[in-house]
Amino acid sequence: MRYQPRAAEPTIARAARAFPAVVLTGPRRAGKTVLLRHLFPHASYVLLEDPAVVARVRADPGGTLDALRPPVILDEFQRVPEIINAVRARIDAAPRRTGQFLLTGSYESLLMDTITDSLAGRVAVLKLLPLSAAESSRVSPFRGGYPEVLARPRTAHLWFSSYLQTYLERDVRDVTRVRDLATFRRFLAILATRHAQCLNKTQIAAPLGVSVPTIDEWLGVLEITAQVLIVPPYFENAGKRLIKSPKVYFSDSGLACHLLGIDTPAELARSPFRGPIFEGFIASEIVKNQAASGRRRELYHFRDEQGLEVDFLVPGKNGSPTLIECKASRTAVPADAGPMLRLNKAMTANGKPAARMLVVHDKPGTPSPTPNVVPGVRAADWGSFLAHV
């Protein structure tokens, strides 16, 4: 499969020039290993999933590293956490030598505890998600962004089925003690039907016959392994009674379509899930853009008890947020701007800076004659909207 350039390349290269170690997290098969081996073609490489390699590293982590010439790529290092102390010792021996170790891992939250304890101040932590629309024209709400799906779209259904099976058998059991994988698989299917909705754990737990704390645990597994995005509510609007539940999205819209049994773009166009899938796709694109540039994730939704709802709010550098409304239709109409205008009016009345406002819609057959929906609100198809965020 031909290498696909990634937007994160300059960020990773800068980090490797500034820190002794770089950790790249993200879901399985997002392209972490391929990216690092492309950027650092002469680096030593160790895959810490081979049982023989794992046994050797656990028996003598220091000796294993001493036998390798830096830079060293340690792939899926969370499987052998014992190696971190050996990495730290070698960094401390030459603290000004940058780019010594390049580590990948699939369990972000669990990894951060290890990194904070052992490599604080010595490591840059970055995240790589599947391909974005800015990186490949093949990315779409139906296919999502996993590189292997985009390279071989005819086998996408088989790939997603295999991916889920591997995920269940390896990652889920690694992170938590899920005894009944069949029920966890049903949990994924039910969660897909709640895609782009405010999270109600009781409604998810009831048909599965499990407790709400179990749903909490399972959602934690999905977050740790970067399979879902939990988008929190935006609270900084005084004077309104707000809905405080987060919204949940699968990180990859192609995987969400697979879980919902949507097998073709035509089926998605007719599906009642078309709008939620499109909204989740835009959420993922925003987060991918932030991750590629090394920024922390900042994405919120807004909803109050009076029914005012805006899909996304992205804080700006100068304090001026960007409000985003997602529409799966091919054109934007003035009514689409209404919720954003109302929220912007309330925010400015409370002393907040005026927001930039954007309606993101499906790709039209022909270019729109004007990017303005109403004064102050612009429209952009999903292929170009990142320029406005």
pLDDT digit string, tens, across residues 37-71:
999 999 999 999 888 999 999 999 999 999 999 99
- So what's the pLDDT on residue 330? 86
Instruction: Show the tokens assigned to 147.
Output: 């590189």
Task: Summarize the confidence of residues 325-330 as an average pLDDT.
Answer: 93
d(CA 198, CA 189): 16
Q: How confident is the model at residue 238 (pLDDT cuts 50, 70, 90)?
A: very low
The third-level CATH classification (topology) of the domain covering 147-388 is Arc Repressor Mutant, subunit A (1.10.10)
Q: How confident is the model at residue 331 (pLDDT cuts 50, 70, 90)?
A: confident
Task: Summarize the confidence of residues 295-308 as an average pLDDT.
Answer: 91
Beta bridge partners of 75: 47
Asked if the model's pLDDT at residue 115 lies above 80, the reply is no
Of 179-183, 281-285, 375-379, highest mean pLDDT: 281-285
d(CA 342, CA 149): 40
Asked if the model's pLDDT at residue 144 lies above 80, the reply is yes
- So what's the pLDDT on residue 366? 54
Asked if the model's pLDDT at residue 239 lies above 60, the reply is no
Q: What are the residue ranges spanned by the domains of the chain?
A: 9-127, 147-388
CATH class of 9-127: alpha beta
Task: Summarize the confidence of residues 301-315 as an average pLDDT.
Answer: 92
Instruction: Show the tokens assigned to 317.
Output: 């550098």
Task: Summarize the confidence of residues 112-135 as an average pLDDT.
Answer: 84
Asked if the model's pLDDT at residue 111 lies above 70, the reply is no
Task: Summarize the confidence of residues 83-103 as an average pLDDT.
Answer: 92
**Verdict on whether the full-model pTM lies above 0.85:** yes
DSSP secondary structure of 205-236: HHHHT--HHHHHHHHHHHHHTT-EEEEPBP--
Query: How many alpha carbons lie under 13 Å from residue 320 in its C-beta half-sphere?
Result: 8
Any idea of the CA torsion for 16, 17, 18, 22, to the nearest 10 degrees? 10
Beta bridge partners of 300: 313
